[in-house]
Structure 1
Amino acid sequence: MLCSCGDSGSGTNADEAGNGSNKGGSSNTVNPSNDNGSSMATFIEDPRDGNVYAVKKIGDALWMTENLRIKDTLAYPMDADSTKCPGDSTEASCQKMGRLYKWMTAVNNNQSTDTNSGICPPGWRLPNDKDFSAMVSSLGSNDTLLYKKFQKNGWLNEEDSSSIYWSTYYSDYMSQPGGFIRRRGLHAITVLKMIKGYRSVVYMDYGFLDDYGYVRCLQNPEADSIKDYDDFLANKAKRTEYIRSTLEGAKRYMNKELKYGSFVDERDGNEYYTIKIGEQKWMAENLRYFPGDEYYKTYWDYVCYSQCSHEDSVDYYTNGVAYESSWAFPQSDTVGPVCPSGWRIPSKDDWDELRMNADTDQALLATGSLWESALNTTGFTAMPTSSDKTSGVDPFAETRFFTSELSAGENVDDENPKYKTLYYYWFDDGFTYSDANAAYIRCIQE
């Protein structure tokens, strides 16, 4: 969707000008202000995630004047470990300054040096080096004024001492004092670079595959934005189905020699495998019930790796959802129990009985080269939720489960009280109890 608003005095918005929105999230005919024009602001909404970006005509091209913020590890799997937030690395920084990407993620693993949409919104594309050069030329040659114009258009954040913006151009040149020399095996990408300091400059330079840079997209008038968006949805649906049916999330790490049961959570349609251990019947997977953004929280330190948000994440199907205690144990009469009907959060006594039946903590750990020592003879299949399951064994793998017992000195009415949790600590190579206000949930049948 594209809209115009502001105090331009024209009284004309995008629709009145015949620039209606379309399903693809962009319009091929717009009449935005240019760098020296009216104060009218023009915006696009990215249909993939709902992010809204200001855009402006610079020279002959329509540019986003904000850095791209999308992260979707189902549609763009490389997002899992090739993007980050700038500054203090918080999501708030991403919202304010845009997201940083490695080059292969920015181009969506497409090394085309010509027109390349990369991870840009439907109907938009990544700039190439010619686009950058034309844009810089249109803004003038005076370094000081040029730098100020880029600041005005949000290209350099106050928190950044320097910024780079990816282009599509890929070569095997490497920057060296005195010029560019060819070095086989050392690949570089033309970038727009800005440095803030004693001498503020904007210039073309070379960046490298492991660098992080911002993405600014420009409109591609030749694109079919509806088809682009349909292709995006189709590819995401295909990958989602692949994860559900082929990789099977945590199911692929279960003990194939044991007999599992299953049931479907009627609230959201999630299917869970179950396993009987001694006289207890456990869910053999972490809970995936997603109550909504207002309840869901992500914790880096021990609860999740880097991609444990809801269904934009591969880990959603493997690790489940990380819960704050305020949702795991809701006090509101309008909010029901977090476990499915007929199931509950286990007590400390339940966990003690499980561990006694297992003989050893390693008998509870998922096999499949995830933990340094795992047997999974019980079929419980505890997943390492602090490690990346695409890179093999992590010697620092950990996980944590809620018990139903409030920690000593905590008040159940507090905003997010601590509960006793069962914590697998890599240093001890075994489970122990400790207090926390965030963890995963493994339900036990009532």
Structure 2
Amino acid sequence: MLLKNLWCGKMSLRVGMASATVFGLLLLAACGGDSGTSALSDNGTSSSEEIQSSSSSPKVESSSSFILSGDSHEESSSSSSVELNCSALLEGETDWNWNVPKECRFNSGIAYDSMTDPRDGQIYKTVKIGDQVWMAENLNYADSVKTPSLLKRSWCYNNKAENCAVAGRLYTWLAAIDSLKLATDAANPQDCGLLKSCTLPDTVQGICPPGWHLPTDTEWIILFTEVGGESTAGKALKSQTGWNESGNGSDAYGFSALPAGLRYSGGAFGLGGYYAYFWSATETYSNPRYSYHGDADDMYLFSSYEETGLYHHDKGSAISVRCLKDGMSSSGEKAKSSSSNKDEAVSSSSNQSSSSNEDNEIDGDRCWDMPKEAYLNPEIDYGSMTDSRDGQIYKTVKIGDQVWMAENLNYADSVKTPSLKGKSWCYKNKTENCAVAGRLYTWAAAIDSVKFATDADNPQDCGYGKTCTLPAKVQGICPDGWHLPTKTEWETLFIEAGGESTAEKNLKSQNGWNISNGTDAFGFSAIPAGFGRTWIPEGFYFFYKGDYAFFWSATESTEYIGNIWAYSMELDYDYETENLDGSYKEFAHSVRCLKDL
């Protein structure tokens, strides 16, 4: 499915979750607490907006400050030592526990080295694997005065500073590559922001300490090869404890990867205990016919798999960073970023700016230069209905025993319906686009979440990051006598429209689609209205008008961890097969209402 391809994985369009059901489901992407002692606000940011000055930055004790009891070796430092009885702390622990200190997760059979980050004095374990020298723990650097790229782009898991002390910080890709440093480089300034592409140097220091850098895809692959190949590398790189579902590794080489999870670009945290992700300095290039540069590559580890590999997330997700020491790769020459081998690198000057939400659009070829009536099938005898709330009139059509709106909902009254406030948009923020293709709504808006929250008999908090027990019929923001269709009701439509293999072509409008229009055989007249989404803190963006249509269902996707998904129906520009799968609740999709029986 497109959304998973764009924001969480390596699957091609329409592959969706098929390649690994549980893996894909769980996938679908940093907390303000500093690693030091600054006071935290309710959202986990420090009182100085995550700015940790070098003058006030405390030196954080490393693992060498502890004596590890119950292990095969002891470590001490000149500073006061605290004894850790790791055997006792780990006794009975079968899953991830943030209360277990990182010192208890290292492999006691490995002779680790160490390095000190001169920027803040933090000490990190290091390990040599083949000819590469890696940090054996996640980066926990937070000084946004020295490194402005970090401001509001790095977090501790669940906004708890103590979690940074265990598993380091979670960084967006822009933070990881130190995008502001690249932009202000006097010799070769590069604008490597969200939805932009640039030609990165062979070695990207990013937010790593001097003498270290953010690894490229090539360098990750070298690591996989050195520890036995991708099919078993996951087990070899994962720590010996802490992974859920009996997914612990052998940690045979001392990489000691912890399941630190991620922060989704919408702001929710998830997958702690199940996944580890580490950024690469390599961008992901999507379908070249789009100017979309929203993803970057990463390495993943999953509790249920012994293998590993390269994946990709949207650049607004926040994941871990492991730094690699500068020098020679195991191939005998410096590893080069795969971004430098692209056939056609796109200059950053040709990409759209993300500074203005008015222009934040990743678009197809066609413009909506016709009124909405022009997208209806002239051979269909449509009915009509009037929305009593605002007087708008919508065409309707009967397909089987169901009566559907044949146009997208365009209801916007946030006074009568407070759920809509700040949660619905016209495409590209232009009112005339709503007149053609209706509004785009988040799932919380579509179900009218405020109405559920204020229900006197059964108040429920439903929305992003939350789950609730919805009634069998959810009116949501639909007019009286109509409701938001469930997953089952969408499936009924697919069957009536010819079955899975042809339903999409039969439901798409006869014009307006890039590459492949539909037959609109039943008058559903779906037009490619695209969708919208937020990247925090970068802003709100619009995508793929002319190529995709997404319609919300009233059914949550409970298979996904974190309660951040609901089912939506997807129609694509060049496929004849419909798709009904999970979508981020924060995304903004179209709404088609179904008449109550």
TM-score (norm 2): 0.30
Which structure has the highest strand share of the two?
1
TM-score (norm 1): 0.39
